[in-house]
A = this chain, B = another copy of it.
Amino acid sequence: MSQCIMPDEMARPLIRGRGVGGGSGRLEASTSEPDAPVVGILGTGDFSRSLARRLAASGYQVVVGSRNPKRSAALFPEEAEVTSQVEAASQADLVFVAVFPEHHSTLVELKPTLAGKTLVDVSNGLSINRDGPSNAEQLAKLFPESSVVKGFNTISAWTLQVGPRDGNRQILLCGNNSTAKSSVMQLCRRMGFVPVDMGLLSSSLEVENLPLRLFPSWRVPVLCTLCLFAFFYVYNFLRDVLQPYIMAKKKFFYKMPIETVNATLPAVALVMLSLVYLPGLCGALLQLCWGTKYNRFPCWLDRWLTSRKQLGLCSFLCAALHAIYSLCLPLRKSAYFKLLIDSKQLKEGDVWVEAAVWRMELYLSVGIMALGLLSLLAVNSLPSVANTVNWREFSFIQSTLGYCALSMATLHTLLFGWDRAFDLARYHFFLPPTFALAVVLPLTALLGRLVLFVPCVARRLGLIRRGWEKSRHIRFDLPDEGCCNGLEDASYV
Is the C-beta of A484 less than 8 angstroms from some C-beta in chain B? yes
With contacts A178-B35, A385-B383 known, is A306 near B6, CB below 8 A?
no
**Identity of the chain B residue whose Cβ is nearest the Cβ of A176 in the assembled complex:** B33
Contact digits for A333-361, partner B, Cβ 8 Å, 1 yes 0 no: 11011011111101010011110111111
Flag if B254 contacts A358 (CB, 8 Å).
yes
With contacts A6-B313, A10-B399, A283-B14 known, is A481 near B384, CB below 8 A?
no
Please tell me which stretch of A52-60, A228-236, A423-431, A433-441 contacts chain B, meaning at least 4 of its Cβ atoms lie within 8 angstroms of it. Answer: A52-60
What range describes how many residues of A lie at the interface? 35 or more
Please tell me which stretch of A140-148, A240-248, A289-297, A451-459 contacts chain B, meaning at least 4 of its Cβ atoms lie within 8 angstroms of it. Answer: A289-297
With contacts A28-B203, A192-B170, A479-B106 known, is A156 near B13, CB below 8 A?
no
Flag if A382 contacts B384 (CB, 8 Å).
yes
Q: How far is the CA of A224 from the CA of B166 in the complex (A)?
A: 27
Flag if B33 contacts A178 (CB, 8 Å).
yes
Is the C-beta of A78 less than 8 angstroms from some C-beta in chain B? no
**Contacting residues, chain B, for A364 (C-beta < 8 A):** 257-258, 328, 331-332
Would you give the shortest CB distance from A29 to chain B, in whole angstroms? 2
**Contacting residues, chain B, for A106 (C-beta < 8 A):** 479
Please report whether the interface of chain A is mostly helix, strand, loop or mixed according to DSSP. helix
**Identity of the chain B residue whose Cβ is nearest the Cβ of A14 in the assembled complex:** B283
**Identity of the chain B residue whose Cβ is nearest the Cβ of A339 in the assembled complex:** B339
**Contacting residues, chain B, for A372 (C-beta < 8 A):** 317, 321
**Identity of the chain B residue whose Cβ is nearest the Cβ of A348 in the assembled complex:** B344
**Contacting residues, chain B, for A238 (C-beta < 8 A):** none
Flag if A402 contacts B7 (CB, 8 Å).
yes
Is the C-beta of A404 less than 8 angstroms from some C-beta in chain B? no
Is the C-beta of A46 less than 8 angstroms from some C-beta in chain B? yes
Is the C-beta of A227 less than 8 angstroms from some C-beta in chain B? no
Flag if A480 contacts B307 (CB, 8 Å).
no
Q: How far is the CA of A341 from the CA of B343 in the complex (A)?
A: 8
With contacts A46-B482, A66-B480, A392-B214 known, is A302 near B332, CB below 8 A?
no
Flag if B203 contacts A192 (CB, 8 Å).
no
Partner of A482 from the list B21, B98, B386 (CB cut-off 8 Å) is B98
Is the C-beta of A174 less than 8 angstroms from some C-beta in chain B? yes
**Contacting residues, chain B, for A163 (C-beta < 8 A):** 196
Flag if B13 contacts A487 (CB, 8 Å).
yes
Which parts of A197-211 form the interface with B (CB within 8 Å)? Answer: 197-200, 202-203, 206, 209-211
Would you give the shortest CB distance from A245 to chain B, in whole angstroms? 15
The interface centre, meaning the residue of A169, A212, A396, A399 with most chain B CB atoms within 10 A of its CB, is A212
The interface centre, meaning the residue of A57, A100, A307 with most chain B CB atoms within 10 A of its CB, is A100
Q: List 12 A-B contacts (CB under 8 A).
A: A1-B217, A6-B308, A8-B306, A17-B294, A21-B306, A33-B176, A48-B483, A191-B197, A321-B368, A328-B364, A340-B346, A340-B351
- Other CB < 8 Å A-B pairs besides A156-B485, A337-B351, 10 of them? A1-B309, A9-B309, A10-B493, A13-B487, A17-B295, A26-B210, A47-B482, A101-B483, A192-B196, A337-B353
